[in-house]
A and B are shown apart, each in its own frame.
Chain A
Amino acid sequence: MMEITEGSHAIAEAVRLCRPQVISAYPITPQTHIVEALADFVANCQLDAEYITVENELSALSACIGASAAGSRTYSATTSQGLALMFEVCFNAAGMRLPIIMSIANRALGAPLSIWNDQQDSISLRDSGWLQFYAEDNQEATDLHLLAYKVAEDHSIQLPAFVCFDGFILSHTYEPVDMLTQEDVDKYLPKFNPYERLDAADPISFGMYATPEYYPEFRYEMDQAQKRAKDVIAKAGKEFGTMFGRDYSALIEGYRLEDADTAIVAMGSICGTIKDAIDEMRVEGKKVGLLKIRVFRPFPSEEIAKMLSHVKRVAVLDKNISLGAKGATVIEVRDALYGSSIPVKGYVLGLGGRDVRKKDIKEIVALSEKGQGDIFYGLRKELI
């Protein structure tokens, strides 16, 4: 049923319907409303779960690791500095092949302190082994939690997943969302059936140390699981579409891209503003389209190369910057198009919550037409 509600509330409700058995989280802006709502659900017996309050994020994810290894469906949520504090444990969760789902209300990293949105936090964990989903709107932010559990818990995958959505821009926005029912979700998402679990009667170990004779194969197996996730996402996303009418089988989506000269590549809530800008540019006769990346890990290189094969130029927008290099997405898109002659330029924008407007998108398209790019877009020159 369509309901107008806050993004955080819609996400908390979706998580509740996924029936997590253990939740551990530490509140941090702008994720707080989600974990507050889940704590209420548990306290009011609307969700039969153990809610473990902890002293910080490192403990939150550590608690999830223990619970997941013991065979429970687990959930956490964080952002920014909280995710940074989990850095070590993120690698452990993935290395132990535990399908923990964590919501990331994307926020910039300090210093300087910023509570506002960019995607530096989750992007900085891109090498940890977690699957990474990015939502354009609150419908996707909600639905992707179901998809994430389904894919992460698949026995051929067994990796944790981030469901990322732009902090404040989505988490604090009221907009209509089709809210699923418990019956719907139970049909889509079966009970967690761990491939292996801690069992005192049949003891095993998770995450023991690996000597050089063993370590590389662990990373290789994780990489293989990431690659297999493409097919699992396709299947689980299609099933979602069949059941609920919203098909998430594709890792990327094109918008007015079929005949486009200029392709914009972007991720997250900015895609909505870009679509509006594209419609206006089309009226003005400019053939512009969007390639939206919904899944950043596994990275859909081949899919991107195929979808962009006909365009004259590519403008990649990054709400992150690998300092001393470029935005993370442009590096990977350029790698995907290696060997082709299509020029790919990167634009770092929207850092620390700097607003991105339709006119900015149009200006970036104009810059890409002139071959100008690989820049921080929209800097205030008087501050430099």
Chain B
Amino acid sequence: MRELRIHGRGGQGSVTAAELIAVAAFEGGVFAQAFPAFGVERRGAPVQAFVRFDDKKIRKRSQVYEPDYIIVQDSTLIKDVNVFMGVKQGGIVIVNTEKKPDYKVPNGVKLITIDATSIALKAIGLPITNTSLMGAFAAATGEIQFSALEKALNHRFPKELAAKNIDAARVAFDIVKGAA
């Protein structure tokens, strides 16, 4: 079983990202489970959402404490929340930032930074970074196919909005793929 933990702030679409990643993974033929860390949602407050992937039915219901993958939607969270807590050796951390990191991920963990905010502003016109980060996640981990992500976005959003979000996801996907 592989596990993903998404850190974001209320309003950034962390829960939606978790759901759509699970939908895309299921589309690709694996069992998936997505759920939020049930907080009292307020815009701007730190939030978490989780996804599990497995080749058999997923029974475990506890939160994710030792993730294989971490997505950080807002790098200002890093000073307030221990976002890298429990990450597994060989794990992958994706951080949305335009800056050079002034923090360290644990040894043996791969850090990928991507300026998802700029990508989103350009493609969608709003600083909604979740779909760009889904594209980055697809490229970095191979847990989901880009075509499955595209399908999930088309299913979730009206046509025009879906197209913009798919653009954002593709830009991020290509950047991460290109860097690999």
CA distance A78 to B60 in the complex (A): 25
| Across-interface contacts of B35 in A (CB, < 8 A) | 168-169, 172-174
Task: Check B22–A174 contact: CB distance below 8 A.
Answer: yes
In the complex, B19 has a CB within 8 A of chain A:
yes
Task: Check A355–B62 contact: CB distance below 8 A.
Answer: yes
Closest to A173 in B: B35
In the complex, A197 has a CB within 8 A of chain B:
no
| Across-interface contacts of B63 in A (CB, < 8 A) | 355
Encode contact with A along B14-54: 1 for CB under 8 Å, 0 otherwise.
00001100110010000111111010100000000000000
Known interface pairs A172-B36, A174-B34, A357-B65; A4-B60 also in contact (CB < 8 Å): no
Task: Check A175–B65 contact: CB distance below 8 A.
Answer: no
Known interface pairs A4-B32, A169-B35, A353-B38; A175-B58 also in contact (CB < 8 Å): yes
In the complex, B61 has a CB within 8 A of chain A:
yes
Q: Output the least CB separation between A350 and chain B (Å).
A: 10
Known interface pairs A169-B35, A172-B35, A174-B23; A115-B60 also in contact (CB < 8 Å): no
In the complex, B59 has a CB within 8 A of chain A:
yes
Task: Check A273–B62 contact: CB distance below 8 A.
Answer: yes
Q: Output the least CB separation between B36 and chain A (Å).
A: 6
Task: Check B59–A273 contact: CB distance below 8 A.
Answer: yes
CA distance A276 to B57 in the complex (A): 11
In the complex, A176 has a CB within 8 A of chain B:
yes
CA distance A252 to B49 in the complex (A): 32
Encode contact with A along B104-120: 1 for CB under 8 Å, 0 otherwise.
00000000000000000
Encode contact with B along A165-199: 1 for CB under 8 Å, 0 otherwise.
01011001111100000000000000000000000
Q: Output the least CB separation between B62 and chain A (Å).
A: 4
| Across-interface contacts of B65 in A (CB, < 8 A) | 357
Task: Check A269–B26 contact: CB distance below 8 A.
Answer: no
Q: Output the least CB separation between A260 and chain B (Å).
A: 18
CA distance A273 to B40 in the complex (A): 25
Chain B interface size, as a band, is: 20 to 34
Task: Check A4–B26 contact: CB distance below 8 A.
Answer: yes
In the complex, A6 has a CB within 8 A of chain B:
yes
| Across-interface contacts of B61 in A (CB, < 8 A) | 166, 169, 173, 269-270, 272-273, 356
In the complex, A275 has a CB within 8 A of chain B:
yes
Q: Output the least CB separation between B176 and chain A (Å).
A: 24
| A4 partner, pick from B22, B36, B59, beta carbons under 8 A | B22
| A115 partner, pick from B23, B33, B38, beta carbons under 8 A | B38
CA distance A116 to B37 in the complex (A): 10
Q: Output the least CB separation between A18 and chain B (Å).
A: 25
| A176 partner, pick from B18, B26, B60, beta carbons under 8 A | B26
CA distance A356 to B61 in the complex (A): 8
In the complex, A362 has a CB within 8 A of chain B:
no
Task: Check B38–A173 contact: CB distance below 8 A.
Answer: no
In the complex, A227 has a CB within 8 A of chain B:
no
Closest to B63 in A: A355
Q: Output the least CB separation between A358 and chain B (Å).
A: 7
Encode contact with B along A253-272: 1 for CB under 8 Å, 0 otherwise.
00000000000000001111
Task: Check B60–A174 contact: CB distance below 8 A.
Answer: no
Task: Check B59–A275 contact: CB distance below 8 A.
Answer: yes
Task: Check B62–A116 contact: CB distance below 8 A.
Answer: no
Q: Output the least CB separation between A48 and chain B (Å).
A: 27
| Across-interface contacts of A169 in B (CB, < 8 A) | 35, 61
Q: Output the least CB separation between A256 and chain B (Å).
A: 13
| Across-interface contacts of A115 in B (CB, < 8 A) | 38, 40
Task: Check B34–A116 contact: CB distance below 8 A.
Answer: no
| Across-interface contacts of A357 in B (CB, < 8 A) | 62, 65
Closest to A270 in B: B61
Task: Check A273–B60 contact: CB distance below 8 A.
Answer: yes
| Across-interface contacts of A137 in B (CB, < 8 A) | 59
Closest to A357 in B: B62
Q: Output the least CB separation between A167 and chain B (Å).
A: 8
Q: Output the least CB separation between A173 and chain B (Å).
A: 4
Q: Output the least CB separation between A248 and chain B (Å).
A: 17
Encode contact with B along A112-130: 1 for CB under 8 Å, 0 otherwise.
0001100000000000000
Task: Check B59–A272 contact: CB distance below 8 A.
Answer: yes
Q: Output the least CB separation between A347 and chain B (Å).
A: 16
CA distance A176 to B40 in the complex (A): 26
CA distance A269 to B40 in the complex (A): 22
| Across-interface contacts of A116 in B (CB, < 8 A) | 38
Q: Output the least CB separation between A275 and chain B (Å).
A: 5
Residue pairs across A and B with Cβ atoms less than 8 A apart, 8 shown, are A30-B38, A169-B61, A174-B34, A272-B61, A355-B63, A356-B61, A357-B62, A357-B65
Q: A115-B40, A168-B38, A356-B61 are in contact. List 10 more A-B contacts (CB 8 A).
A: A116-B38, A137-B59, A173-B61, A174-B22, A175-B31, A175-B32, A175-B58, A273-B61, A276-B59, A358-B60
User: Could you list which residues of chain B lie within 8 angstroms of chain A, going by C-beta atoms?
Assistant: 18-19, 22-23, 26, 31-36, 38, 40, 58-63, 65
5 closest cross-chain pairs (CB), A and B: A272-B59, A4-B26, A174-B34, A173-B35, A168-B38
